[in-house]
Amino acid sequence: MVATALLTTVAERRAAILRAVKAVPRGAIASYGEIALRAGLPGRARLVGQVLRDSSDRRLPWHRVTGAQGRIAFPAGSQLFREQVRRLTGDGLQVERGRVVRSHQNPHDIDRLLWASRD
């Protein structure tokens, strides 16, 4: 039996990651590391980035995935950077200096940074 108890194959890991990304609701964001954690792959943040880069799924809300501090991972001004900002804005989020900021009402939540759904 090739299968093992945990996520072993590339396909399984990828599926788990994509699943986690799709689970992020509109108006919320999650860091690469958070997604990895949700996918059952703690510490595999870079893997998340790779999967997203390789994925061509238009349905994927990849724009809701940011750096651990709410930072957009692309070079400021780049095509993808602007694309992500546009989408996040469309989700009702506020982006300043390449970083997602909370609504003016709860400025303190910035410390938490991640508003990914939990449960």
Partner DNA sequence: GCGGTGACTGACA
Partner DNA sequence: CTGTCAGCCACCG
Ranges within 55-94 binding DNA (CB under 7 A) = 55, 62, 65, 67-69, 73-74, 80
90's CB contacts (< 8 A; 6+ apart) are none
Among 49, 93, 100, 116, binds DNA (CB under 7 A): 49
Nearer to DNA, 68 or 109 (CB): 68
Q: How far is the CB of 61 from DNA (least distance, A)?
A: 10
Beta-strand pair 65-66/94-96 = unpaired
43 is an interface residue for DNA by CB under 7 A:
yes
Among 20, 39, 48, 95, binds DNA (CB under 7 A): 48
The rounded distance, in Å, linking the Cα atoms of 34 and 16 is: 13
Q: What is the residue type of 89?
A: T
The rounded distance, in Å, linking the Cα atoms of 21 and 63 is: 9
